[in-house]
């Protein structure tokens, strides 16, 4: 019995095509289930930003932005910012942009909602790109009623939890969505200073240097020759 994650065993047996097929089947199951719940409740439980979240959490589980906390916080910020921009430019209660067409208010609301969502998520270090679609859905009036926004939050929570649960089953015992805690690098000790070299004795100059240390017999012969 191997302890390797199921996704690694699938990759060894069938290659990347098998992994992609597994992600595709699971994505279909989760989004179809969300859509079925929406049909039963007659509420919008299937909308564009759910697809990128599922793809990111399945296909890029090692990426920090695919963590469940990033997904929950990202979409929550997107919803709040989208509602704020919708009211800021006075577009609440008006026909959505796809029906009535773009207006100055919708253009400003849509652009500002994405910019603010990205800024906030970057500042709190919890980026999640699909949240940009969530905030635009609201700021463009596509889903803008209180009940619709509440249903939107419920659909996102269901999708994130279901995707994370299936991803956990396939990846365990690994947990790629958790950031590795890296130990700080240990300081490199400075090299010990080398001991100062003792000064070498200077050679004696002149006659003393050449003959001062000569044996006595050699010195006498030199004197006689001179």
Burial (CB < 10 A; 0-12, 13-18, 19+), residue 28, is exposed
Helices (H), the chain: 6-41, 50-59, 68-88, 97-100, 104-123, 131-139, 146-171, 206-211, 216-225
Q: Are 150 and 116 in contact (CB under 8 A)?
A: no
**What is the C-alpha to C-alpha distance for residues 27 and 162, in angstroms, rounded to an integer?**
10
Q: Are 124 and 142 in contact (CB under 8 A)?
A: no
Q: From residue 110, give the alpha-carbon distance in Å to each of 18, 76, 95, 157.
A: 39, 16, 15, 23
- Residue 71 half-sphere exposure, CB side, CA atoms within 13 Å? 28
Query: What does the pLDDT profile of the chain (226 residues) look like in tens digits?
Result: 445 577 777 778 888 888 889 889 999 999 999 999 999 999 989 999 999 999 999 888 888 898 999 999 999 999 999 999 999 999 999 999 999 999 999 999 999 999 999 999 999 999 999 999 999 999 999 999 999 999 999 999 999 999 998 888 876 656 565 654 444 455 566 666 665 555 555 555 544 444 455 555 555 555 555 5
Q: What is the pLDDT of residue 181?
A: 43
């Amino acid at each position: 019995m191997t302890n390797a994650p199921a996704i690694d065993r699938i990759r060894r047996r069938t290659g990347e095509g098998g992994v992609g097929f597994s992600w595709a089947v699971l994505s279909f199951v989760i989004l179809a289930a969300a859509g079925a719940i929406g049909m039963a409740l007659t509420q919008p439980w299937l909308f564009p930003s759910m697809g990128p979240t599922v793809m990111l959490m399945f296909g890029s589980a090692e990426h920090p932005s695919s963590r469940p906390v990033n997904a929950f916080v990202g979409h929550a910020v997107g919803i709040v910012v989208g509602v704020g921009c919708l009211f800021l430019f006075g577009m609440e209660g008006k026909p959505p942009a796809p029906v009535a067409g773009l207006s100055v208010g919708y253009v400003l609301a849509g652009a500002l909602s994405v910019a603010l969502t990205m800024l906030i998520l970057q500042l709190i270090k919890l980026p999640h790109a699909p949240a940009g679609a969530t905030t635009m859905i609201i700021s463009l009036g596509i889903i803008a009623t209180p009940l619709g926004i509440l249903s939107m939050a419920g659909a996102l929570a269901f999708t994130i939890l279901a995707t994370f649960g299936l991803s956990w089953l396939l990846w365990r015992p690994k947990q790629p969505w958790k950031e590795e805690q890296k130990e700080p690098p240990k300081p490199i000790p400075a090299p010990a200073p080398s001991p100062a070299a003792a000064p070498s004795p200077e050679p004696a100059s002149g006659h003393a240097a050449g003959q001062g240390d000569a044996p006595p017999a050699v010195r006498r012969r030199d004197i006689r020759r001179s």
